[in-house]
Amino acid sequence: MNILLVDDHAVVRQGYASLLRALMPDLHVREAATGEEALSQVLEQVPHLVIMDFGLPGISGLETTRRLRQRLPQLRVLFFSMHDELPLVRQALDAGASGYLTKNSAPQVLVEAVRRVLAGHAYIEQSLATQLACASTRHNTDPRLQCMTQRELEIFVMLARGTPARTIAEQLCISAKTVSNHLTLLKSKLQVSSHAELVHLGIDMGVVRVAG
C-alpha cells in the first residue's frame, strides 16, 4: 500500500512517516510539504491514501483535496490536523475526505484510521463524530453558516483567523480582488461592518478558537 503524507512541518511530517512505517511495515510512505507538491506526486504515482494537513503554504489542504478528488474521484483522503472546529471538519468531508482526526490522537488511533480508510470505510475521530452528531440532532448550526457557499465559508474562516487577504488569494489561487469581493459579500450576509466584527463573529460561531 502506498500512502502520501502531506504536512509542511518537516519534523512533524517525518516523525509521523516514521511512526507509520514502524507500526505498519507493509506501507510505503511518501512525503510532500505543500499542496502543489502533493498534486505533482499524485500525478506521478496515485497512492492508495493521502493523509492531508489542513493548513499548508500555497494552496490549502482543503483546496488540494478538492483538486485531487476532481481528477481522481475514488482517491481516499484522510485529514490529520491540529484543527478540531466543526465547520472545518464539515468542510473537509464536503470536499470529499473519507476521514478526519486531530494531531492530539494517540498513535494507535492514527493507525486505526489509516486501516479503516484503506479498507474503504469512513473514519472520524470519536469526539468529533459525537459533536457532529449532537450538532445535527440539535439543528444548532448557525443559519448564517448554512447560507454560505463552501468557498465563502473557507474565506470566512481564514479571515476570522487573521489571514491576510493576499495570503488567502495565494492559497486559494484566486485574485486579491476576488477575495475583496467575497469579503464585501460576507459582511453583507453576516451583517457586520468591519473586519474586527467578523473576527468576533467567527469566535462566537465556533469557527475559530481563542487560545487560552
Global pTM? 0.70
pLDDT at 74: 92
Q: Per-residue pLDDT for 161 more than 80?
A: no
How far apart, in whole angstroms, are the C-alpha atoms of residue 197 and residue 52?
Answer: 31
Q: Per-residue pLDDT for 141 more than 80?
A: no
pLDDT at 30: 96
The answer to whether the beta carbons of residues 119 and 24 sit under 8 Å apart is: no
The alpha helices in the chain, defined as continuous H runs, are: 10-23, 35-44, 61-71, 86-94, 107-118, 126-138, 143-146, 150-160, 165-172, 176-190, 195-205
In 3D space, the residue among 61, 48, 21, 68 whose CA is nearest the CA of residue 154 turns out to be 61
For the CA atoms of 72, 18, 103, 156, the dihedral, rounded to the nearest 10 degrees, stands at: -40
For the segment 33-44, the average pLDDT, to the nearest whole number, is 94
For the segment 82-97, the average pLDDT, to the nearest whole number, is 86
What would the pLDDT profile of 67-79 be if each residue is shown by its tens digit?
999 999 999 999 9
For the segment 133-161, the average pLDDT, to the nearest whole number, is 69
How far apart, in whole angstroms, are the C-alpha atoms of residue 59 and residue 64?
Answer: 6
